[in-house]
Chain A
Amino acid sequence: MSARRKGLFGWQQRYAPYLFVAPFIVLFCTFGLYPLVKSIVLSAFITSGPKSRVFVGLDNFLFLLTDPDFGKAVWNTAVFAACSVGIQLPLSLGLALLLNRKRLRGRNVFRLCFFSPRLVGMVFVGVMFSLIFAVRFGLLNVALNALFGTSLELHWLGEADYVMPALVLTSLWMYVGFNMIYFLAALQNVDLVLYEAATVDGANAFQRFWHVTLPQIKPVAVFVVILSTIGSFQLFELPYLMLQNSRGPDAAGLTIVMYLYENGFVTGDLGYASAIGWSLAVGVLVLALGQMVLSGTWKREA
């Protein structure tokens, strides 16, 4: 190998990693980092359209604290997150436990069935369920009446009290099976020897679950809880589509991201929208950190 070729070869070996990450970094800085920093700046302005821009410091954030619509949006989103995570995850874990039994036939078929709703995008689920919740011919009312012999005509999406249950039900349909996949994978990683040892020690099924299974799948469980919480707080498409691009009766379907969208892209105040965005980001971050600290994950990762 000639000296020249060797030099070129060594050169490209030394600089290759920089060239490989360069396009990624450039894109990341332009469309990730820059907007992120810029949104902090924007949140200190009241804007309307591209020209008019007034510096207001922290006033946007102060105003958020007393904005009743924002309060409503936070409340709705938090209730949705609490309900959907709180009901969803025990169901997912339960299904995973059933599917994890030895000698279960058709496990893959069941797994595929439970997972399938995840393939339907949120928007399309919204369109579909807006009809499932329809008053007279909607599948849910028809099914309820057939099962219980009643003749209910529940206005799922037309009455403030029913909007949140409808949203939570829909999210259960979408995500119970999806999160089950994580739990099932975690369960299949638990060492069988641990169960045998527990059985020898005289532990019953519940004790085995509580003292062996739960600690073993805890890291995955924490991961799923945090991911679901973050996802729930970004709720937008589902109510927006189900309530036909409105907040719903009494703003029962108004969420934080919907409020951000309304302010930034309907009213045109990008500054206020950025302030809403950062409130959401900080809230979600605090929640996620809180969940990590409470579950003791933090210590191991730090």
Chain B
Amino acid sequence: MNRGMVARIGVYAVLVVGSAVTLVPLVWLVACSVKNAEDFFAYTFFPPPDRLTLGNFRELFRQMSFLRNMMNSLFVAGTTVMVQLFFSSLGGFALAKYEFRGKRIVMVVMLATMMIPAQVMLAPLYELICRMRLADTYLGLIVPGAVSVFGMFLFRQSMLQIPDELLQAGRIDGCSEFGLFWRIAVPISRPMIGAFCLIAFMGTWNSFLWPQIILQSKELFTLPIALNQLVGLQRQDYGVLMAGTLLSILPVAMLFLVLQREFLSGLTAGAVKG
């Protein structure tokens, strides 16, 4: 065996071990969710096939309003993403393709605020939301997250590449300015839209601190909040807890599988070429 072969085998060995270490916790999660309480400690991973059970999932839906929490999460994340997407792509289009007064100032101020950790704003934002009587409502979750400075810069970056001639041609054909955005800029930016949707969805889906602060009523709890409650409630029922965790991460995983290609290229586009 020559040196090249040894090196190749070494590389594969490291990669395989690395992937295994990465995936084992996820496999363990799945295994824990399909074991009943007696088998939980008896088997590290999966029990024999005839002892597999969906009982944990049934328990989950029976004991807590898991379905309701899932719907809350889907509704809040879905709405937030749509609103963010519309406003930041429209704003990004204006900043990329028009010259207007105050443009530089707007961009500098926004860039500056991106450098500041969002937690600084928690206290005054909470006051504001309370004064608007939006505490403990869906709107209180959605509205503060409706603006995404990051998204706006992402769209500005990608829309800079739209040739001015194309827009001019549209104008000559009698297209309105909003039409230029809707019929030309948006379709061209489709890959970026895919990437942004996933990033924004993950951000809202996984958000914990803000909902934890403003939500009181159980009917409004999103999954992270509900799961945190479950940890406190059933210390012994680990299978149910793992089943809840598994179901909570499934929607993001599925969205990722759909948008994978767009996502990975969009993620690094700004970093590498910027």
Contacts and interface: CB of A to CB of B under 8 A. Distances in A.
A3 to B, nearest CB: 16
A21 B94 contact: yes
Contacts of A50: 127, 130
B272 A185 contact: yes
A99 interface: yes
Given A13-B177, A18-B100, A127-B241, A132 B28 contact: yes
Contacts of A64: none
A17 B209 CA distance: 35
A16 B253 contact: no
Interface string A244-286: 1100000000000100110011000011011001101100110
A17 B149 contact: no
Of A13, A42, A131, A285, chain B has the most CB atoms within 10 Å of the CB of: A131
A274 B109 contact: no
Given A101-B11, A123-B206, A185-B268, A42 B224 contact: no
A9 B208 CA distance: 47
A27 B87 contact: yes
Contacts, number: 241
A21 B19 contact: no
Nearest to A289: B115
Given A181-B267, A220-B271, A39 B123 contact: yes
Contacts of A130: 231
A176 to B, nearest CB: 8
Given A13-B177, A116-B22, A260 B119 contact: yes
A208 to B, nearest CB: 15
Contacts of A13: 171, 177
A39 B25 CA distance: 40
B74 interface: no
B70 interface: no
Contacts of A200: none
- Where chain B touches its partner, the secondary structure class is helix
A185 B264 CA distance: 10
B192 interface: no
Contacts of B208: 121-123, 236-237, 241
A174 to B, nearest CB: 10
A245 B228 contact: yes
Contacts of B264: 111, 115, 181
A117 B22 contact: yes
Nearest to A143: B24
16 contacts: A13-B177, A20-B90, A50-B130, A98-B11, A110-B15, A110-B19, A121-B208, A122-B206, A122-B208, A124-B227, A127-B231, A131-B238, A173-B22, A186-B272, A234-B119, A271-B123
Given A24-B87, A181-B268, A274-B123, 10 more contacts: A17-B98, A17-B99, A27-B147, A31-B146, A98-B14, A122-B206, A236-B119, A261-B209, A264-B123, A281-B117
